[in-house]
Amino acid sequence: MQVIVRDNNVEQAMRALKKKMQREGLFREMRARQAYEKPSDRRVRERAQAIARQRKATRKKMQREGLLPATNRRASAR
């Protein structure tokens, strides 16, 4: 992973690095590796993640096809 520091602005480079690491899921992986996870718990978690991914993909597909209204995150955050 690479971040370019412009005009000696280390603060901006650190923010960019954190954002990249967040997008890659590095923080989530580090948190998961902090403690041992039983194989049965791992299977349960992975199955739940797969179901969530499938639901999200189905929801996005239905929104693209016009069967569901697209969610507007900006309006709901206000």
Sketch the domain layout of the chain as residue ranges: 1-35, 37-69
What pLDDT, on a 0 to 100 scale, did the predictor assign at position 77?
A: 58
Amino acid at residue number 30 = M
pLDDT at 46: 95
**Other CB atoms closer than 10 Å to residue 29's CB: what's the count?**
10
Tokens, residue 29: 């992986």
The alpha carbon dihedral of 16, 71, 52, 65 has a sign of: negative
Q: What percent of the chain has pLDDT over 90?
A: 76
Amino acid, single-letter form, for residue 62: M
Residue, of 10 and 73, whose pLDDT is higher: 10
State the pLDDT at residue 67.
87
* CA pair distance 57, 35, nearest whole angstrom: 30
